[in-house]
Amino acid sequence: MKIYNTVATGVRAKVIISEYINNNNLYDGFFKNSSAQCECGETNCLTWRNEDTLLSVAICESCGDDNAFVSDILEIK
């Protein structure tokens, strides 16, 4: 079980993923809500995927930090 670093808001999660998509010229993907583990326990996670890439950002109002480094927050698979 992996513990994710999180952002505090869904808006910040979408901005992080959208910027990565635009900067890397990704296309034909879709957003989906899922779950992940944070320091507090189970929390929401925003994911985006296409045939080749899966991007995830966990969201937690309690332990999340909207000012955290993107490299600490964004999970790329």
Per-residue pLDDT tens over the stretch 26-45: 999 999 999 999 999 999 99
Predicted pLDDT at 1: 61
pTM of the model: 0.93
pLDDT < 70 regions, the chain:
1
CA angle at residue 24 from 38 to 13, to 5 degrees? 30
Predicted pLDDT at 59: 97
Q: The dihedral of CA 6, 7, 11, 16: what is its sign?
A: negative
